[in-house]
Amino acid sequence: MRGKAFLVGSGPGGLGLLTFRAREVIDSADVILYDQLPGDEILSTLPPDAERIDCGKFGGDHTLEQREIEEIMIARVMEGKRVVRLKGGDPFLFGRGGEELEALREHGVPVEVVPGVTSAIAVPECVGIPVTHRRYASAVTVITGHEDPTKPESALDWEVLARLRGTIVILMGVKNLPGIAAALMEHGKNPLTPVAVIERGLRTDQRVTVGPLGEIAEIAKERGVSPPAVIVIGDVVHLYDESHLPR
């Protein structure tokens, strides 16, 4: 069977961090399903003769449900097509790549996974912030900020997170930043812990906001911080340096 599915990471945005394998499978794809996270620079280089499906804007304004995305992928592979599911960063760090893999496997669809450079590491890195450092942090925890910490059913243990002596990297955390900062401090995290919020990392309109945990939510609000952004909490933020702006 020629048909095959590819779960492909685009990197954090910009052609420089798209892997060689990702470029190869994109260029030979019959169908590409994507959303806006990979960014214009990459999305403008999708092969014009491939069928392109914008999962965020399908047939007007309709956003494709996860199940619909999986169904389209399976159906196209069964037709013998090479189907690329292009995802921002790495396909298996949030963004539901794992669920897509399960659905494809269940239907006996051959799948290749193409790892990508994750924003969780690359975005801080490109403003000079290493997520670990011998002097500042021997561990890094990457969490989703999608969970509202004020809800009792939060899947994250904020007490444990507050106690961890390492870096916390938060994806999808802009909206809940006030609640997240409050939950961490409530469980004992020092309000002076430095925080960096990097919006649209590695894009031409990248912007960085830095402040102490106790004030970051207010500062971010004043500056109108908006997604996508990577939030880094921990002493490694002391190494923040503007001169690492992307080329």
Binding site for ligand SAH (CB under 6 A): 12-13, 37, 87-90, 93-95, 118-120, 123, 171-172, 198, 200-202, 227-230
Nearest alpha carbon to residue 156 among 178, 196, 183, 131: 183
Question: Closest by alpha carbon to 235, among 187, 196, 185?
Answer: 196
Residue of 40, 57, 148, 221 with catalytic role:
57
Q: How far is the CB of 102 from ligand SAH (least distance, A)?
A: 17
Shortest spacing between CB 91 and ligand SAH, in angstroms: 7
Distances (CA, A) of 148 to 57, 145, 157, 175: 26, 7, 12, 9
Residues 28 and 8: their CA atoms lie apart, in Å, by 13
In angstroms, give the least distance from the CB of 180 to ligand SAH: 12
**Encoding tokens for residue 214?**
């106790």
Report the residue number, 88 or 149, with the smaller CB distance to ligand SAH. Answer: 88
- Length in residues, the chain: 247
Nearer CB in complex with ligand SAH: 30/147: 147
Residue 241 annotated among the catalytic residues of the structure: no
Q: Please, what is the minimum distance in Å from the beta carbon of residue 148 to ligand SAH?
A: 15
Active site residue 81: no
Q: Is the peptide bond before 149 cis (omega within 30 degrees of 0)?
A: no
Cβ closer to ligand SAH: 30 or 35?
Answer: 35
In terms of CB distance, is 81 or 149 closer to ligand SAH? 149
Cβ-based nearer residue to ligand SAH, 7 or 30: 7
Instruction: Give the nearest distance from C-beta 201 to ligand SAH in angstroms.
Output: 3
135/131 Cα distance (integer angstroms): 12
Phi, psi of 227 (to 5 degrees): -70, 160
Question: Judging by beta carbons within 10 Å of its beta carbon (0-12, 13-18, 19+), is residue 168 exposed, middle or buried?
Answer: buried
Active-site pick, 4, 35, 87, 90: 35
Count of alpha carbons within 13 Å of 31, Cβ hemisphere only? Answer: 22
Q: Is 57 a catalytic residue?
A: yes
Pick the catalytic residue from 4, 81, 87, 172: 172
The residues annotated with a catalytic role in the active site are 35, 57, 172
